[in-house]
Each structure stands twice: as structure tokens, then as C-alpha cells.
């Protein structure tokens, strides 16, 4: 069988064809590369609208992007890879120089900026209205009415939904974001308590304990007394007795007012437990974790009354009215 021979001109043609193919592939690749670069530049030059401060959680870039999306900012999986190019964002509050930046500028500021922080303390037993109007609004230069309106819009309940703690809050935060941040903190706390005690979390069921806890918070002299005060509340409720507890009148802007006989006579709110039976429909104040745990697990007692001892600041508990009245007379 005769094998055909490839002459030199054929070899040259094959080499030329191969070279053309290589150049063609090269230029196609180059075109694709430039298209990707142009698409990336177009993406990075898109405008981004944000708050003047944003919160960056601890964790991976994917967690950061997810958090930004939860804050109603539009980001994609691509942004978590772009962040690697710009640097590593620090966790915490980030001050954004302008609420309308290009995407590239925004991602860059996430990696280089931090916010000026203000220490805000919510003490156990403080009411939301007093806290927002007299502490938060002047410290963070926010509108108190907008803060209260945001609380009403974002929460199912108007009281007992903020966790007492010391917070570091950035100047420039909006009323909406501030309330959202505190509410999310409380939801996390309540969820953890409920999961540990009950094995699940149902907001309405749990909030009933918050209502009881708010009365405990106002009445108990210290953490050790809380389960005992809780027992008095439940004992009186079970007997159909009015609670008749002065601290329940320290609601709203009455948070630090002294409860007087005149206030008891004139107050027609649901928090006047001398006039109304049972529990109010909402909490009186914001509550600590020990107060919630006392409401969930009260001490087993027969106590129905208590009176503060002026010398010790603690309460003396009694099971019957005659002994209680003697104690009241001694204290007065």
C-alpha cells in the first residue's frame, strides 16, 4: 500500500492554519477579558444608596453581604469576592461619608472607615418612652417622636421590648436603624431564654412573662427578691385579688415620679392595679434577664403582701393582711 507523502508546501499551510487558530483564540480570549473588565467597571460604577452608618457583623464576607442585604441594600455574591480586592472590613459600626456613593466607593469605605460611637445605657426597669426621649434623643441627636413612632411601627408591643444593657451606638444612625438594632438584640435574647427553658419560642406566649417580669422589675429590691415577688404576683392573681402595686404606676414618662395617694386616685390607666384586676395588656418597663427568669420560675410561697423596710431597703413578706398592716404601721 502506497503512503501519500506530505510535501513542504502542505506543512507550511498546516503551520499557517495553526498560527491563525492560535491568534484567533488569543484575540477571542482578549475580547472576553476586556468585556469582563468593562462589565466589572460598569458594575462598580453603579450608584449605591445607604444609611450614613451601617452595621458589619463578625464573620465571612458572605455573612457581611447577607447583613447588608437585610439592611435593604442591594448586593450580590460578586460583592463578597470584590471585598477581597478592597480589603477586610472590620466588624461593628461603619460610618459612610455619603449616602449616595458608587459601589466601588462604598465597598472601599467598608474596609477603611469606622464610626464615632456614643455609649448609651438602658437600666433595668426604665420605660421605653423615658429612655428614648431623655437619653437617646439628646445623646445621638435624634428626633424623640420619630424614635417612638419607629418603635410602634417595628414592634408588636410598645413596651418591654428593649434589653437593658450598655450599647455603643454610632453618631449619624437613623431612628429606624437604631430601633431595629435594639429590637433585634432583644429578640435574640428572648429566643435564647425561651429555647433553653421551653425548647421553643412563641412571641405572644413569651411576652406574657415579660409583662409579669416588668412588675417584678419595678417592685423587687434586688435580684434575690425577684422570685419571691413573682410568687406574690401569681398568688394574688390565683386568688382573684387586685395586685395593688405602686410600681405599676411608674409607666411611660412617670418612670421616676413618686407614686402618691393622689396619683392612685386620679390615674385611670390600665396600669393602676388598685382600680383594675389582673395583668395589664403590655409591660410597664424594659426588663432584665433575671426578672424574666423569676416570672417563669417563681419561688413557691404563700406570701400575699410585702412592704419595704426603710432601714434595709429590702422587703418583708407576709401571708395575711393583719401582719402586713402591722408592718405598714411600723414603717410609717
Q: Output the pLDDT for position 218.
A: 96
Q: Output the pLDDT for position 43.
A: 76
In a domain, residue 251? The reply is yes
Residue appearing with cell numbers 464610626: 115
The answer for residues whose C-beta is within 8 angstroms of residue 250's C-beta and 6 or more apart is 127, 218, 256, 257, 259, 284, 285
The answer on 170 and 232 residing in a single domain is yes
Q: Please state, in angstroms and as integers, the Cα–Cα distance from residue 236 to each residue in 8, 240, 244, 316, following that order.
A: 111, 6, 10, 16
- List 167's β-bridge partners, or say none: 120
Average pLDDT estimate for 87-113:
81
In a domain, residue 49? The reply is yes
The answer on 184 and 95 residing in a single domain is no
Count of domains observed in the chain: 2
The answer on 226 and 164 residing in a single domain is yes
Write out the three cell numbers for 267: 390615674
Final residue before a domain boundary, out of 115, 132, 163: 115
Q: Output the pLDDT for position 302.
A: 95
Q: For residue 104, what are the domain limits?
A: 21-115
Element (H, E) at 47: strand 47-49
The answer for residues whose C-beta is within 8 angstroms of residue 270's C-beta and 6 or more apart is 276, 280, 281
Enter the pTM of the model.
Answer: 0.77
How many angstroms separate the CA atoms of 128 and 133, rounded? 8
In a domain, residue 291? The reply is yes
The answer for residues whose C-beta is within 8 angstroms of residue 87's C-beta and 6 or more apart is 108, 111, 112
Q: Residue 108's pLDDT band (boundaries 50, 70, 90)?
A: confident
Residue 3 clears pLDDT 60, i.e. is over it:
no
| SS3 category, 287 | coil
Q: Residue 2's pLDDT band (boundaries 50, 70, 90)?
A: low
Q: Output the pLDDT for position 6.
A: 52
Residue 193 has φ and ψ, to the nearest 5°, of -65, -50
- List 122's β-bridge partners, or say none: 165
The answer on 164 and 65 residing in a single domain is no
- List 269's β-bridge partners, or say none: none
Q: Output the pLDDT for position 162.
A: 98
The answer on 286 and 182 residing in a single domain is yes
Mean pLDDT, rounded, of the chain? 88
The answer on 206 and 102 residing in a single domain is no
In a domain, residue 107? The reply is yes
Average pLDDT estimate for 161-189:
95
The answer on 155 and 90 residing in a single domain is no
Q: Residue 190's pLDDT band (boundaries 50, 70, 90)?
A: very high
In a domain, residue 327? The reply is no
Q: Output the pLDDT for position 10.
A: 62
The answer on 281 and 241 residing in a single domain is yes
The answer on 77 and 194 residing in a single domain is no
Average pLDDT estimate for 309-316:
89
For residue range 243-288, list pLDDT tens digits in order. Answer: 999 999 999 999 999 999 999 999 999 999 999 999 999 999 999 9
Q: Residue 93's pLDDT band (boundaries 50, 70, 90)?
A: confident
In a domain, residue 331? The reply is no
Better-predicted residue by pLDDT, 8 or 104? 104
The answer on 70 and 25 residing in a single domain is yes
- List 118's β-bridge partners, or say none: 169
In a domain, residue 323? The reply is no
Of 31-35, 146-150, 178-182, 205-209, where does mean pLDDT reach its minimum? 31-35
The answer for residues whose C-beta is within 8 angstroms of residue 47's C-beta and 6 or more apart is 100, 101, 102, 103
How many angstroms separate the CA atoms of 273 and 237, rounded? 11
Neighbours of 59 (CB within 10 A): 11
How many angstroms separate the CA atoms of 173 and 18, rounded? 63
Residue 199 clears pLDDT 60, i.e. is over it:
yes
In a domain, residue 322? The reply is no
Amino acid at each position: 500500500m502506497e503512503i501519500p507523502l506530505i510535501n513542504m508546501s502542505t506543512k507550511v499551510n498546516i503551520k499557517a492554519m495553526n498560527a491563525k487558530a492560535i491568534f484567533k483564540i488569543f484575540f477571542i480570549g482578549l475580547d472576553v477579558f476586556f468585556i469582563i473588565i468593562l462589565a466589572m467597571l460598569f458594575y462598580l460604577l453603579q450608584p449605591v444608596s445607604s444609611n450614613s452608618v451601617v452595621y458589619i457583623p463578625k464573620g465571612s464576607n458572605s455573612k457581611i453581604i447577607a447583613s447588608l442585604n437585610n439592611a435593604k441594600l442591594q448586593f450580590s455574591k460578586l460583592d463578597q469576592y470584590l471585598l477581597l480586592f478592597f480589603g477586610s472590613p472590620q466588624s461593628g459600626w461603619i460610618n459612610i461619608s455619603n449616602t449616595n456613593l458608587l459601589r466601588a466607593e462604598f465597598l472601599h469605605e467598608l474596609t477603611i472607615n469606622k464610626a464615632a460611637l456614643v455609649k448609651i445605657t438602658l437600666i433595668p426597669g426604665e420605660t421605653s418612652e423615658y429612655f428614648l426621649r431623655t437619653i437617646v434623643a439628646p445623646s445621638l441627636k435624634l428626633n424623640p417622636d420619630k424614635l417612638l413612632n419607629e418603635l410602634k411601627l417595628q414592634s408588636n408591643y410598645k413596651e418591654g421590648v428593649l434589653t437593658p444593657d450598655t450599647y455603643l451606638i454610632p453618631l449619624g444612625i437613623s431612628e429606624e436603624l437604631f430601633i431595629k438594632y435594639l429590637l433585634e438584640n432583644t429578640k435574640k435574647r428572648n429566643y435564647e431564654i425561651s429555647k433553653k427553658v421551653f425548647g421553643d419560642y412563641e412571641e405572644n406566649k413569651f411576652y406574657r412573662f415579660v409583662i409579669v417580669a416588668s412588675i417584678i422589675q419595678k417592685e423587687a429590691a434586688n435580684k434575690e427578691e425577684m422570685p419571691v415577688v413573682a410568687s406574690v404576683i401569681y398568688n394574688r392573681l390565683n386568688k382573684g385579688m387586685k395586685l395593688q402595686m405602686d410600681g405599676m404606676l411608674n409607666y411611660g414618662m412617670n418612670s421616676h415620679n413618686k407614686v402618691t395617694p393622689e396619683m392612685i386616685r386620679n390615674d385611670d390607666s390600665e396600669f393602676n392595679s388598685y382600680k383594675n384586676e389582673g395583668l395589664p395588656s403590655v409591660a410597664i418597663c424594659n426588663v432584665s434577664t433575671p426578672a424574666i427568669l423569676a416570672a417563669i420560675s417563681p419561688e413557691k410561697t404563700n406570701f400575699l403582701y410585702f412592704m419595704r423596710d426603710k432601714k434595709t431597703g429590702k422587703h418583708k413578706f407576709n401571708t395575711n393582711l393583719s401582719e402586713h398592716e402591722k408592718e405598714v404601721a411600723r414603717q410609717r
